[in-house]
């Protein structure tokens, strides 16, 4: 498991309903600590970590070389409200976001745009989790 995961992030990752084959999307990955931990728990699954910040994506990419090489993780610079699946990219069945203003109520219009994007990028039974619960809170994805 990747080192330097805070106890708070570890509680969040431990609370995710991960399966070895999960396709996971993390919105607002920052330096990628949680995504690397998720990747370490996947066998045939995959996590895509996204962030709007080029600096955060560069840090996440540099720290995740092993997981990226193994095919369990990828990193992309894109804001959650602009996210779309790339050609041939399979939809995600699990999404999580930690301290993302668009999903925690700080920026409601951005949140509505993110949810619309997720409706097109996730499976019919996908689940979305954000921080703010104990330790997570589940939100509904439109159409799921």
The pLDDT tens digits of the residues spanning 86-141 come to 999 999 999 999 999 999 999 999 999 999 999 999 999 999 999 999 999 999 99
CATH of domain 7-139: 3.40.50.150
Give the torsion through C-alpha atoms of 29, 31, 33, 34, to 10 deg.
-10
Determine the pLDDT at residue 1.
Answer: 45
* 2, pLDDT greater than 80: no
pLDDT band at 48 (very low <50, low <70, confident <90, very high): very high
Average model confidence (pLDDT) across the chain = 95
Percent of the chain with pLDDT over 70: 97
Structure tokens at 92: 């995600």
CB neighbour list of residue 6: distance below 8 Å, 6 or more residues apart: 33
Confidence band for 85, pLDDT divided at 50, 70 and 90: very high
The whole-number pLDDT of residue 3 equals 52
């Amino acid at each position: 498991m990747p080192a330097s995961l805070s106890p708070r992030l570890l509680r969040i990752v431990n609370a995710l309903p991960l399966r070895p084959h999960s396709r996971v999307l993390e919105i607002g990955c920052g330096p990628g600590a949680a995504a690397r931990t998720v990747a370490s728990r996947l066998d045939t699954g995959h996590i895509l970590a996204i962030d709007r910040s080029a600096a955060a994506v560069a840090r996440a990419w540099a720290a995740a070389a092993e997981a990226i090489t193994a095919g369990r993780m990828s990193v992309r610079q894109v804001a959650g409200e602009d996210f779309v699946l790339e050609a041939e990219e399979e939809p995600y069945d699990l999404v999580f976001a930690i301290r993302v203003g668009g999903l925690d109520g700080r920026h409601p219009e951005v949140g509505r745009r993110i949810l619309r994007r997720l409706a097109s990028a996730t499976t019919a039974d996908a689940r979305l989790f954000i921080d703010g619960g104990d330790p997570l809170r589940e939100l509904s994805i439109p159409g799921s």
